Amino acid sequence: MSALHIKKGSTSHSAYNLRPNFSDVQERHTIAVLVENEPGVLARVIGLFSGRGYNIESLTVAEVDHTGHLSRITIVTTGTPQVIEQIKAQLGRIIPVHEVHDLTVEGPAVERELAILKVVGDGDKRVEALRLADIFRANVVDSTLGSFIFEITGAPDKIDAFAELMRPLGLAEIARTGVAALLRGE
């Protein structure tokens, strides 16, 4: 035994450091997945993310080609470059998945999200909310004497910014659709 110089005892390295030769910078990617519109396909995609411990920042899905039975799922996710590669490869393994596109890599892409926000308040706050909504090109889609519902479309950070401004003005509820995205140009 000893002649073989087999090291014993502890090691300074963590056994959990599973990916030492991969970068650990977190990146945000928008991935478009074209899937057959069949029952359970969304569960497969979501199950993949939860089962393998990937992040979902937002996810939208709707049928985009009625005759071809195709739906488009847009997923915004974060992870190291290696995890992002894995996510795409794993998505590609799902049988009803036809295409996987990393819009962040293939881009530039246009990203849009729709949000509706209920702002409750009166007096100056109400006036200020309306003024800001105008600046952000948000529409009033419902109003009562004590509340507004604004509709706003834009990139997610624009919606974040608008929501942040509405918070002190009486933001009561917000509903967001998640990101829809398309590559620019032809």
Binding-site member from 85, 157, 164, 173 for another protein (CB under 8 A): 85
Rule CB under 8 A: say whether 19 interacts with another protein. yes
74 burial (CB, 10 Å; 0-12 / 13-18 / 19+) is: buried
Residue 98, CA distances (Å) to 31, 94, 108, 177 in order: 13, 9, 22, 24
- Classify residue 105 by its DSSP letter: H
Residue 47 binds another protein (CB under 8 A): yes
Q: Which of the ranges 10-18, 108-116, 126-134, 142-150 carries the binding residues for another protein, by CB under 8 A? A: 10-18
- Closest CB 24 distance from another protein, rounded Å: 13
Of 113, 108, 110, 125, nearest to 161 (Cα)?
A: 113
Burial status of residue 136 (CB atoms within 10 A of its CB: 0-12, 13-18, 19 or more): middle
Interaction of residue 64 with another protein, rule CB under 8 A: no
Is residue 68 a contact residue for another protein (CB under 8 A)? no
Q: Which stretch binds another protein (CB under 8 A): 41-49, 133-141, 165-173, 176-184?
A: 41-49
Question: Contact between 66 and another protein (CB under 8 A)?
Answer: no
Q: Which residues, in sequence order, are bridge partners of residue 74?
A: 32, 60
Q: By CB under 8 A, tell whether 65 contacts another protein.
A: no
Please, what's the largest Cα pairwise distance for the chain?
88
Binding site residues, another protein, CB under 8 A: 1, 4, 6-11, 13-22, 36, 39-40, 43-44, 47, 51, 82, 85-86, 89-90, 92-96, 98
